Amino acid sequence: MIPTYQEAENIDRLLRAVRAVCPDLDILVADDNSPDGTGKIADAVAEELGRIEVLHRPGKAGLGAAYRHGFRHALDQGYDVVVQMDADFSHDPAVLPVLIDAVERGADVAVGSRYVPGGSVPNWTWLRRQLSRWGNAYARVMLRLRLQDATTAFRAYRAAMLERIDIDGTTANGYLFQIETAFRLSMAGASVVEVPITFVDRVAGSSKMAVVRTMAETELRVTWWGLSLRAPRVAGRVRGTGPGRYAESLIRPTGSPRAN
């Protein structure tokens, strides 16, 4: 499952790279009507290589929306394992067999992790690395996560676990979607295997993430989820206030505590 928006410079090479590493893997591209023709390029490669399906979505609605659409499509097709990855080569296709094998051996989810021994982010500045580590550590402590790298988008899921955590009920977008699914997985007691990866920044195209806004939204939601998890009675009282109603409107993951 590969969500795309403005990835014309990458999608052809990526699809061929995935097919070369995993010839028996079916590939699903969910394109948000990219103005640069990403969807059309994916269609052309699909016609040439086969076993590639392209979902042409009406417009850019956020990364989480694309993942939900793609996951539901894959689940309805009856697949046993569903993998997600980025389209910009920050995730090495060569790791795909390792992630899939971990699920086939019994894990509910296998994660391509930057923050386990052997993982790395060689192109990042010291400040960016520290911000990412701090954000992951904060989410891990506040939400009692089972993942060391809660924001990675390189994961292989057992299909039954995606159904169990109600993937359709998620509402977060951006990389907060990864934290929300990590929260749901942890609350469900999922077995997690983290595989070390080298995360490389894109070399073609440009990032679509608004960093400051995304970080602020993420910290707000993680704090609210943590409060709901750790102090449901306090959270229940806060819900009656203006800020509390706003925070509650953002999302409450399935299984998180809530006061009556």
pLDDT at res. 123: 83
**Cβ neighbours for 164, distance < 8 A, ≥ 6 positions apart:** 188
pLDDT at res. 244: 52
Q: Which residue has the tokens 């997600």?
A: 84
pLDDT at res. 258: 36
pLDDT at res. 125: 86
0.85 exceeded by the pTM? no
Among 190, 17, 29, smallest CA distance to 93 is for 17
Which parts of the chain are beta strand (E)? Answer: 2-4, 27-31, 52-56, 81-84, 109-113, 155-158, 192-196
Among 106, 111, 154, smallest CA distance to 1 is for 154
Q: What is the mean pLDDT of each run of 10 residues along the chain (260 residues)?
A: 95 97 97 96 98 96 93 97 95 97 98 94 85 85 90 96 95 85 93 95 55 62 70 57 52 38
